[in-house]
Amino acid sequence: MQRVSLLVFLPLLACQVPQKPRAAVGADRPNFILIYADDLGYGDLGCFGSKKNRTPRLDRMADEGVRLTSFYSTSGVCTPSRSSLMTGCYPRRVNMHKDAKNGWVLFPNARKGLHPDEVTVAEVLKTRGYQTACIGKWHLGDQREFLPTRQGFDSYFGIPYSNDMNRKNIPLPLMRGEKVIEAPVVQPPLTRRYTEAAVRFITDNKDRPFFLYLPHTMVHLPLNPGVEYKGKSANGRYGDAVEELDWSTGEILDTLKALGIDQRTMVIFTSDNGSNGRNGGSNAPLRGRKGSTNEGGMREPCIMRWPGRIAAGKVCDEITSTMDVLPTFARLAGAELPKGRTLDGHDSWALWSGDASARSSYTAFYYYRIANLQAVRQGPWKLILSHKQRGRRGVAGKQVATRLIDLSKDIHEDVDLSAKHPDVVKRLMDLAKVARAELGDGNKAGRGQRPAGLVEKAVPLLLDK
C-alpha cells in the first residue's frame, strides 16, 4: 500500500517544494484564453460528432489544433468543477465539493466560497505580470471575499452563479467588478455582451501578456440564445445557443489574427460538465449526463489551439483534466507553483502540444459525486465502486454494484469485466483507498483536505439604488 501511495501522490508532493521559474516554451509569457461553456455535452460539437449543431469555427479550431478526447472535469456539476479549474485540485481537497447545507452547488447568498488563501491560476500568472479578466459565470462564492476580484482577476463582468438562480428577493445580478449593475439581468444578449467585453480586453492588452477566463452562461438552463440566433438552428433553443457560442469563439480567434497576436496566444475551449441530456443536448457516445460519474457527466469536449506551438489536426486520448490548467500555464509562463500546498493536477504540456509519444501523468483519476468517491480510472480501466445512488441532498437510492470497464473498447460502459480481471480490480481498489485517505470519502475527511471560505453572515448581492 505504501508503494501505491508514493506512485499516486509523489508528483503532488513535489508541488510543495519551491521551484525556480522555468523558461517559457516557445514564447516569452504567452497569452492564455480559456473559454468555458456551461453544461455543454461531449457530443454537442461537430468535431466531436454532432450532426445537429453547426459549429464551423470550433471545428476549424480543432483542425488547427488538438482535440483531447479523454479530458475530464472533476465533477458533474458547476461549483466543484470550477474550483478545480482555478486551483489545480480535486474539489474535496479545497472543500468545494458541496455547499454549507450539503447541496451540490452554491446558491445565492451562500455563506461558503473558495477560500481566499487558495492560490488560483490567475494569481499564479499575476506573479509574471499578466493582466487578468474573468468574463461570465463565476459560481465560487457571491460574497465580496470570494469574488473574482479577490482571487487574482483585475476585472470581472458577469453573473456570480447559474442563470436559473433568479430569486424573488435576490434578482439575478449582472456585475462589473464588485458592483451589481443590472438586476435581474436580461439574459438573451449575454453571450454577445460577454464576447464584446472579451474582444475589448484582448484589444486593450495586445501589447502585454494576458489571461482571459471566459466562462459562458450558455448552455445552462434556461436557454436564452441571442435574438440573432434564436430559431436559426435545427436543434431548437439548445442548438441556437451552441451555434452562438461557436460564433463567439470565432470572434475571439478573428480578433487575435487581426491584432497580430495569434501565434503567441493559447486558446482552450471546453465545458464545466456534461449535458443534462434534455432540450437537445448530447453526451454521445458516452453514458450518463450532468451530475453523474458516468463518462457523460465528467468527460468533456476539449479543443486547444496555439499556431506554431500546438500541432495541427492532432487527437489525444490520454487522461488529462481541468486540474492541469494551473500547473501547465505556470510552466508555459515561467511562473512558480504555489508554495506549501499540494496540487492534484499535472503539467500536461507534452500532451496538449500534440506530442504523440507523451503519456498521461495520472496514475489514477478519481470520480467524486458530491462527497462520495464512486469510480477510479487508471489507463483504459475504470472501476465503478459499489455505492448507493444519491440525490442532490444525499438521499440514498438503489445500490450500484462494483463493475470494471475497459474504456478503450467500451466507451459506453456496458460490459463488466471484473470477474475476468481480478488483478486489475484489486489494483484500482488499492488506489481508491489512497484517495479516501488523502481526499476523504462520504463523511470521513481526508488528511490532505483544506478548508473552504466561510462568512458569519451572508449579504445578498443587490442592485445599488
Residue 400's pLDDT is what?
A: 83
Q: Which position among 115, 139, 216, 387 bears the catalytic label?
A: 139
- To the nearest 10°, the Cα dihedral for 301, 306, 310, 314? 40
What does the longest C-alpha to C-alpha distance in the chain come to?
67
Query: pLDDT digits over 299-311, tens only?
Result: 999 999 999 999 9
Q: What residues are paired with 15 via a beta bridge?
A: none
Q: What type of residue sits at position 359?
A: R
pLDDT at 13: 37
Q: Write the CA distances from 179 to 156, 160, 420, 459, integer angstroms.
A: 10, 11, 59, 13
Q: What does pTM read for this prediction?
A: 0.93
78 is catalytic: yes
Sign of the alpha-carbon torsion through 39, 44, 46, 49 = positive
pLDDT, one tens digit per residue, over 125-178 is 999 999 999 999 999 999 999 999 999 999 999 999 999 999 999 999 999 999
Give CA–CA dist 150/147, Å, rounded: 5
Would you state the pLDDT for residue 465?
A: 66
Residue ranges, the chain, pLDDT below 70: 1-27, 390-397, 465
State the pLDDT at residue 397. Answer: 67
Position 6 scores a pLDDT of 32
Alpha carbons 205 and 210: distance in angstroms, whole number: 7
pLDDT at 1: 32
Alpha carbon separation from 425 to 367, 382, 419 (Å, rounded)? 16, 9, 9
List 78, 89, 302, 316, catalytic entry: 78
Say whether 316 is catalytic.
no
